[in-house]
Amino acid sequence: MKFTEEHEWLRVEGDVVVVGITEHAAEQLGDIVFVDLPDTGTEVTKDEEIVVIESVKAASDILAPIDGEIVEVNGALEDAPSTVNEDPIGGGWIFKIKASDASQMDDYMDEAAYKEFIG
């Protein structure tokens, strides 16, 4: 897994990258009440705002970590957005993106570097 400075995690599964927010981010946001998911088929550019997560404390934007196409979203979050709090790295994944430039993944931290970053 890779991690961004915006507290997203990225997991490569074949030719797609699964994206979610880290446990640290979920804790900072508090109880998540709404996740505005992107449409599948949407072409995105790295650092483009593509998801809004609303919690009882604040709203937070999720940025596209890489260039590519949204190929799947976690529709279960529409009815159960709190899954992001309960299982941020498992069932709380947000979307899957097919990378158009996989080398962009090289820009991100591994788990040890991320732990030091939030430490």
pTM for the whole thing?
0.94
Q: Is the pLDDT of residue 64 over 90?
A: yes
Structural domains for the chain: 2-103 (2.40.50.100)
How many whole angstroms separate alpha carbon 30 and alpha carbon 112? 24
Band of pLDDT at residue 111, cut at 50, 70 and 90: very high
pLDDT band (50, 70, 90) for residue 102? confident
- CA-to-CA distance for 65 and 46, rounded, in angstroms? 5
Task: Give percent above pLDDT 90 in the chain.
Answer: 95
Tokens of 28: 């900072």
Please give the Cα distance from 70 to 50 (Å, whole number). Answer: 10
Q: How far is 116 from 35, CA to CA, in rounded Å? A: 28
What pLDDT is attached to residue 87? 96
Under the banding of pLDDT at 50, 70 and 90, the label for residue 39 is very high
* Residues pairing with 51 in the sheet: 62
